[in-house]
């Protein structure tokens, strides 16, 4: 019996799909690359923007055609879309879906599949908490480790608290055990995942070592503990909230195994818009945080998320966002045009009154500035040596990310995949550094 998983959305969804693969492998099934010959197809959905939900509708319509040729095909929809579909209206748009449930109910998948097809055997002793399931990873050197799911912030534009529920933190014991197991199997880079990752609150904080230098912030304590695990060479995390980027977390960025990159969403540079978004920080707060980070680590590369065209945003308010971008001098920004989400507070309280054409214009302004400034900033790497974890090889060229999360291309061979290589940079563009491996 074969399965195919389609993953939409963020790194958290990818990590969830890795757990789904663990379940299906435990049922004796095998993964295949396309849905055409699968017995089970699982769509792990994203609900951040309307386009993501529309894509789910398109996928289920395509699967309907396959199902006509293969009536026993089981189509499963899970993830964020079912998680926020309290009244079932979203499900009504989907066609020929056999199972439809939020991600935390994935522990029931074996039983539900076996009820639909008795040839699929249930999995014994499945963990009650799906986060306790060890992911099935698709490489041997990089891994995501979820430390937290759900969110208590209720930003007015965001569906996450509805799709994933309130914040749940994994135990220190489980997190460290998973990472130590990864290290024992040769993994050298981990990325910690959480909706508000720096708001991690340990349910078993008594397990932190007595000589841990951090006394207040559990996330900083966790980073210190992970930095001590032998074999792990690179540690990254996403995504923190400005509210919890305190002095201990900023100091923890200097720990030896931390990547020299921080992604910290701001969303807007105007205080009125931030208030309407329920972000709970001001532009002044955010700029002060960036100044503290740059004082502590002057060469830290910093990325952010920005939403343009939020309800009521004037051009003057947007220009404040442009000004904040310039002041913070980001290396990269994931810019999005506001898309109202049904069920959110913004959808209930505010009109989506910025025209699509204007949203696109504002988005392009940020994109243009980002491309130009990023290319300028990247020139500082020319003539320098960067440390690269190689993750791709094609036609005699290797690729990977530096510690600043800059993409690097250099001549090499396939044997370098999964290793850390020092590369002398001789050329820099906006989205790529080119270099020569130090041998």
Q: What is the mean pLDDT of residues 71-97?
A: 90
* DSSP state for residue 134 in the 8-state scheme: P
pLDDT greater than 60 at residue 217: yes
Per-residue pLDDT of 22-49, as tens digits, reads: 999 999 999 999 999 999 999 999 988 8
Judge residue 268's burial from the number of C-beta atoms within 10 Å of its C-beta, 0-12 exposed, 13-18 middle, 19 or more buried. buried
pLDDT greater than 80 at residue 211: yes
Q: CA geometry: angle at 199 spanning 53 and 340, to 5°?
A: 25
Largest distance between two CA atoms of the chain: 63
pLDDT greater than 80 at residue 244: yes
Task: Kindly indicate the confidence band of residue 176, based on its pLDDT and cuts at 50, 70 and 90.
Answer: very high
Question: Cβ atoms within 10 A of the Cβ of 119, count?
Answer: 11
Cβ contacts of 234 within 8 Å, gap of 6 or more: 188, 189, 190, 257, 259, 389, 403, 420
Residue 124: per-residue pLDDT: 65
Task: Say what percent of the chain tops pLDDT 70.
Answer: 99
CA 352, distance to chain mean position in Å, is 26
Please tell me the CATH code under which domain 2-130 is placed.
3.40.50.12160
* DSSP state for residue 283 in the 8-state scheme: H
Mean pLDDT, all residues of the chain: 95
CA distance 229 to 286: 32
Per-residue pLDDT of 256-266, as tens digits, reads: 999 999 999 99
Please say whether the beta carbons of 110 and 27 come within 8 A. yes
Per-residue pLDDT of 271-329, as tens digits, reads: 999 999 999 999 999 999 999 999 999 999 999 999 999 999 999 999 999 999 999 99
Pick the CATH number of 134-377 from 3.20.20.70, 3.40.50.10480, 3.80.30.20, 3.40.50.800: 3.80.30.20
Task: Kindly indicate the confidence band of residue 269, based on its pLDDT and cuts at 50, 70 and 90.
Answer: very high
Task: Kindly indicate the confidence band of residue 146, based on its pLDDT and cuts at 50, 70 and 90.
Answer: very high
Phi, psi of 69 (to 5 degrees): -85, -25
pLDDT greater than 60 at residue 125: no
Q: Which CATH class is domain 382-437?
A: mainly beta
DSSP string, 320-381: HHHHHHHHHT-SEEEEEE----TTSHHHHHS---S-HHHHHHHHHHHHHHHHHHHHHHHGGG
CA distance 392 to 398: 6
Q: What is the mean pLDDT of residues 133-142?
A: 92
DSSP string, 163-227: HH-S-EE--HHHHHHHHHHHHHTT--EEEEE-TTGGG---TTGGGS-TT-S--S-HHHHHHHHHH
Domain-wise residue ranges, the chain: 2-130, 134-377, 382-437
């Amino acid at each position: 019996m074969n399965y195919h998983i389609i993953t939409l959305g963020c790194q958290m969804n990818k990590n969830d799909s890795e757990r789904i693969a663990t379940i299906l492998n435990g049922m004796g099934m095998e993964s295949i690359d396309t849905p055409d010959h699968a017995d089970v197809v699982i769509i792990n959905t994203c609900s951040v923007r309307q386009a993501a939900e529309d894509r789910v509708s398109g996928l289920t319509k395509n699967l309907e055609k396959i199902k006509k040729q293969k009536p026993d095909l089981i189509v499963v929809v899970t993830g964020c879309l079912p998680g926020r579909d309290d009244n079932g209206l979203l499900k009504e748009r989907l066609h020929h879906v056999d199972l439809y449930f939020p991600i935390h109910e994935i522990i029931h998948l074996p039983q539900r599949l076996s009820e639909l097809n008795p040839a699929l055997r249930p999995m014994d002793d499945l963990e009650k908490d799906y986060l306790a399931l060890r992911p099935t990873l698709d490489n041997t050197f990089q891994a995501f480790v979820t430390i937290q799911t759900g969110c208590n912030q209720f930003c007015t534009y965001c569906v996450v608290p509805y799709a994933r529920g309130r914040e749940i933190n994994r135990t220190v014991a489980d997190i460290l055990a998973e990472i130590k197991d990864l290290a024992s199997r040769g993994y050298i880079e981990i990325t910690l995942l959480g909706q508000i990752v720096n708001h991690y609150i340990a349910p078993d904080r008594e397990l932190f070592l007595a000589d841990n230098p951090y006394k207040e912030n559990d996330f900083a304590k966790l980073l210190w503990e992970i930095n001590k695990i032998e074999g792990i060479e690179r540690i990254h995390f996403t995504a923190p909230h400005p509210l919890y980027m305190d002095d201990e977390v900023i100091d923890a960025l200097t720990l030896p195994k931390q990547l020299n990159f921080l992604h910290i969403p701001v969303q807007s540079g105007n205080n009125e818009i931030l208030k309407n978004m329920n972000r709970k920080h001001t532009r002044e707060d955010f700029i002060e945080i960036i100044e503290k980070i740059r004082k502590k680590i002057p060469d830290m590369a910093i990325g952010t998320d920005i939403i343009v065209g939020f309800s009521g945003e004037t051009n003057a308010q947007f220009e404040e966002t442009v000004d904040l971008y310039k002041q913070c001098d980001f290396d990269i920004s994931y810019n999005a045009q506001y898309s109202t989400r049904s069920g959110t507070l913004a959808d209930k309280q505010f009109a989506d009154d910025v025209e699509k054409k204007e949203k696109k214009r504002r988005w392009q302004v940020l994109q243009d500035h980002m491309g130009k400034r990023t290319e300028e900033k990247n020139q500082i790497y020319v003539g320098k040596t960067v440390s690269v974890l190689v993750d791709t090889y094609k036609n005699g060229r290797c690729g990977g990310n530096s510690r600043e999360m800059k993409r690097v291309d250099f001549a090499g061979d396939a044997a370098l995949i999964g290793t850390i290589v020092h590369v002398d940079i001789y050329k820099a563009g906006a989205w790529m550094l080119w270099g020569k491996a130090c041998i």
